Structure 1
Amino acid sequence: MLKRIKNPDVTKALANIVWLGLERLTQIAVAIAISGLLARYFGPDVFGKWQYANTLLLVLSPITWVCGAEILVPTIVNRPPGQLGTVLGSAFVLRMGVSAAALLVTWLLTGIGIATGFTDPLVGAMLAGLAVTMLFREPFVGVINAWLQSMTYSKPQLLTSMLTAVAKAALVYLLVRAAASPARFGWLWALEAAVIGGVLMLYYIHRHGGKLGWHIDRSLLRHFASAGTVFWLGLICMYLFLKLDRLMLERHISFADLGRYSAAQQLNENWITLALMLAQTIAPAFVYRVHDAVQLKRNVGRLIAMTAALMIGGAIVLDLLAGFIISRVFGPAYTDSISIFRWAVWLSVPAGIEAIGNLVVLKYQAKFVLLAKWLLALAVAFVVNLIAIPRLGSYGALIGLAAGYLAAASVNFYYIRFRLQV
């Protein structure tokens, strides 16, 4: 064990995990602080519009994830060091083209939606600023981060992300104190993405003798455009499923009620992220590096049991503290969020079980299973929402999410049983 810890690769990996954990905790704390601040300042109605604009952004953003890390990082590792500039340059041009097109389409559709009365003008104004993040996240931050991941050294990106998150929170506070228009806040997220992208580009140039040295290779560009397409579509379906509840609720409840629902769900999503981060941190050693089918099946069973226990324990605590948490973070105007939050925290159980089962799908790069799974989850959630939301409102959306998670987990279990036949 001591020899393993002294191994430079193991030391780098452990340090990377520590920095990743710090960054995630910082982002969660900042997200909760900002949400509480904006919820009190905006009020439920405007906060609902803010959350809906963010939902639209999170649904649109996966479009820019072409040539994901699962394609780019192995390409960097397997190519000679002299070709690094060509690999990164080709990936950058592809991502920038897709991101710029996605931004223009978003602005165009938003303008048409406002003109036809389909989109609320304030939602459109908020989305206009938020959408600019797409121009910086994947082309700049994503490409440099893939290079850092290939070296198992994500500290520069994680440290920059933590510092800018704290700075963004401070700027949000200043805008609130200045009684700024709600539409202006979205541009802070665009500024944050631009700063992170700029800092990482400067770091890369510094590490390479003051020169960027990026080039375009057309054959590599075509490879990046086609490779990983199935994974890309699967991720789009996954994010659409995760935000489908808010997209469908917007047509059946007021923005004020949507704001109360989103307040509860944002806290719940942060809890799920924090809990899953702990479980997934140990996954590489117990899933990705295990080749014996019997041992892998045993490990997955133990991880599922551990995650389920963790989620159930956390859900019990959060259920009991729901009133205290909601009132402290969002204030008295969000009393209706308490009961929603108490039900929502139990979604962490199927979400956690699904995430652990998904590790086996990723281990064997079963891209069509991934796509089929999220297509099924999306279809199931859509049908359940279509029936339940008009009758039960926000609680109907929770039922839709639960049904989707169970459908996705069922596909995972079927694949594990099929793939690990012993």
Structure 2
Amino acid sequence: MILSKFVDRVIKAKENVNFIKYFKNTLWLFLSKFLGFFSTIFVGAWVARYLGPETYGLLAYSNSLVALFLPIAMIGLNDIIVKELVISKNNIESSKILGTAFLLKFIFGFISLMILAAFVFLSNDFSEVRTLILIFSSFLILQSLEVFDFYFQSEVKSRFVVYSRIVSVSISSILKIIFIKINSPVSYFAIVIVLELLITHLVTFIYFNKLKIKIPIFNFNKNYALNLLKKSWPLFLSGMMYIVYIKIDQIMVKEMLGAKSAGFYAVSISLSEVWYFIPNIIAASFFPAILLNKSKDQKTYYQRITNLYSLLFWIAIILSIFITFFGEWIIKYLYGKDYLDSCKILSIYIWSNVFFFFTTISSKWLVAEGYYIHSFYRNILGAILNIGLNIILINNYGLTGAAISTLVSYAFVGLFYDLLFKKLRINFQLKIKAILFMKS
């Protein structure tokens, strides 16, 4: 009954002339992320097995610490850039958007890099962690090159980004295997992770030029930059809090329980977050269509959001059940017996995906409705809740407590926050209807 209702909705969706366009784009995005999935599950597990829980924990900790500074570099522009490109009227306007966004992201990336560098050199952490953090800090500058990805997103031409990912993932996977075979230190693997992102952006830029897109990329407009910053500050603050609430548990685990525990926890996170490509792809691919429907047909707009919520909810439920029952077997045969302490954590942490999948779509909904400030409110409350629960539960229940803290904070952000504000309750209703396969 449930399946037949969903199939009926898909058939009706095909009546829309844009369906095939967005569907093909989604398939390309899935191919790209499947490559990342393969790399994480097999090559990533091989790296973790080679490094061992303690060293792998240091690698994950360093990456998470740098991630806390990424929102400063991104300054909340990502979704706004895509939205602006979708509604831009000509190449001159697109040139202004891309050029201004690129320079803003580069400037703030450099600022965040300087802040992180000062933090690293003033800290008393030992040299290996310091080296890893400095390597990963390259992300702060490289993220400015994402503007070319955003252009292809807005044009629903993600196949070019997929080509870039095929090249970068292939090269990085080969390098990781080589470094394992020659017994390389952990810093080599950090360099490969950064190199993968660099190659992705460079190849995307090559395709941008190869297609002879008549858009000068360095067309910076000061007034437009100020306008972007005015629009983006709530999303910037939201991004800061978002990163805190999704990364702080990894940092707190390392600081409170040690690097080895951080390694066990990192494996659980890796096997949970590897599925994030599903909502991220669907949200990125269908966000332009959602924006177009908002102005044309409010009923269709809400129905499409409900359909996305429903699809993602049931995918997350199926995945969570599968990982709960087979997680121990997966960890044992992919990561080895040294990581079996990750099993119990994974069986709890994986259920946070249900709410993360909701959060991905609801974040797009907040942007579409112009409720930017609620992205900030939601994430700051989620961060406070996660930190508070971690302090209490990690002390009392160790790694299990950290996983429970994440599950509870994700549930609040992904579902229950909408109940706090009258104008957001429609979004809560859409989620409940999606779970029950009710029409909007």
TM-score bracket, shorter-length normalisation: 0.7 to 0.9
Pick the aligned partner of 2:234 from 221, 230, 245.
230
* CA RMSD, 1 decimal: 3.2
In structure 2, what is the Cα distance between the partners aligned to 1:300 and 1:211?
A: 32
Cα contact 1:287–1:360 (8 A) shared by 2? no
**Which residue among 168, 175, 189 is the counterpart of 1:171?**
175
Secondary structure at 1:49's aligned position in 2? helix
| 3-state DSSP of counterpart to 1:266 | helix
CA contact 2:95–2:219 (8 Å) conserved in 1? yes
Match of 2:352 in 1: 347
Paired position in structure 1 for 2:35: 26
Matched, 1:53 2:62: yes
Q: How does 1:33-72 map to 2 (within 5 A)?
A: 33-66=42-75, 68-72=77-81
State the one-letter code of the partner of 1:336. D
What is the alpha-carbon distance in structure 2 between the residues aligned to residue 190 and residue 352 of structure 1? 26
CA change 1:348–1:71 in 2 (3 A) is closer
Amino acid at match of 1:417: R
Task: Please show how residues 192-271 of structure 1 align to structure 2 within 5 Å.
Answer: 192-208=196-212, 212=216, 214-271=218-275
Corresponding residue for residue 434 of structure 2: none
For structure 2, the 5+ residue unaligned runs are 1-10, 430-439
Aligned to 1:383: 388
Following the alignment from structure 2 to structure 1, what is the Cα–Cα distance between the partners of residues 252 and 391?
8
User: CA separation of 1:133/1:370 partners in 2, compared to 1, >3 Å: closer, same or farther?
Assistant: closer
Task: Quote the Cα distance in structure 2 between the aligned partners of 1:206 and 1:272.
Answer: 31
The percent of aligned pairs where both chains have the same amino acid is 18
The TM-score with structure 1 as length reference comes to 0.87
**Which residue type is aligned with residue 15 of structure 1?**
K
- State TM-score, norm by structure 2: 0.84
For residues 87 and 294 of structure 1, what CA distance do their matches in structure 2 show? 31
Alignment correspondent of 1:393:
398
Q: In the TM superposition, what is the alpha-carbon distance from 1:365 to its structure 2 partner?
A: 2.4
Using a 3 Å threshold, how does the CA distance of structure 1 residues 328 and 276 change in structure 2: closer, same or farther? farther
Q: Is the 8 A contact 2:268 2:346 kept in 1?
A: yes
Q: Aligned equivalents of 1:403 and 1:132: distance in 2?
A: 33
Aligned residue for 1:91? 101
Match among 134, 149, 156 for residue 128 of structure 1:
134
How far 1:83 sits from its partner (Å)? Answer: 4.1
Structure 1 unaligned residues grouped into runs of 5+: none
Report the counterpart of residue 425 of structure 2 in structure 1: 417
Report SS of the residue matched to 2:387: helix
Aligned residue type for 1:200 = T
- Number of aligned residue pairs: give it: 415
Q: Which residue of 2 aligns with 1:369?
A: 374
State the AA in 2 paired with 1:101.
I
Could you tell which deviates more after superposition, 281-290 or 191-200? 281-290
Alignment partners' CA distance in 1, 2:37 and 2:77: 24
- Structure 2: how far apart are the matches of 1:269 and 1:217? 38
Q: Supply the AA of the counterpart residue of 1:349.
A: V
1:93 is aligned with what amino acid? L
- 2:190 pairs, out of 186, 192, 215, with 186
Partners of 2:209 and 2:189 lie apart in 1 by 31
* Counterpart contact for 1:205–1:212, Cα < 8 Å: no
Displacement of 1:272 after TM fit?
4.6
Please name the residue that 2:278 is paired with: 274
Task: Report how far residue 214 of structure 1 moved.
Answer: 2.6
- How far apart, CA to CA, are the structure 2 residues paired with 1:347 and 1:219? 41
3-state SS, counterpart of residue 250 of structure 1: helix
1:313 pairs with 315, 318, 321, which one? 318
354-363 or 384-393: which moved more? 354-363
